[in-house]
Amino acid sequence: MATFVINTPIETAEPLIEVTIDRTTPLAVGRHRFQLEVTDDAGNRSKPDSVIVIVADREAPTAVLDAPELVNFGQSFSLSGRRSFDIGGTVRSYSWTYLGPAV
């Protein structure tokens, strides 16, 4: 596991490395480039090879609806979606629907 820093090479003896992502500072959504160079036992270094990794937000947000359990007849009341959240993103809009009497 390795925490990458931009333009700072990480040397390993293994052909596989895990990119460790800190949940508090993840890679931003978008395109990110990684590069590999290898050196043989004679000290010869390869030309670099690079790949683009696309970081995408594919997690659905979570709706959390809060409401009073009891209201007086004829009284207005508020519904709240303030506790709704999106891991990796931001809730941008709320769609409210009255579904009719509950049985």
Do 57 and 88 meet the contact criterion of CB atoms below 8 Å apart? yes
> Would you say the pTM of this structure is higher than 0.85?
no
List pLDDT tens digits, range 26-81: 888 899 999 999 999 999 999 999 999 999 989 999 999 999 999 999 999 999 99
Residue 103 within a domain: no
User: At residue 99, does pLDDT exceed 90?
Assistant: yes
Residue 52 domain-assigned?
A: yes
Is 42 part of a structural domain of the chain?
A: yes
The amino acid present at 77, given as its one-letter code, is F
Contact 80, 66 (CB under 8 A): yes
Residues 8 and 30 in one domain: yes
Residue 12 lies in domain:
1-56
Specify the pLDDT at position 91.
96
Question: What's the distance, CA 40 to chain centroid?
Answer: 37
Q: 48 with 62, same domain?
A: no
Domain count, the chain: 2
Residue 82 lies in a domain: yes
For residues 50 and 66, membership in a common domain is answered with no
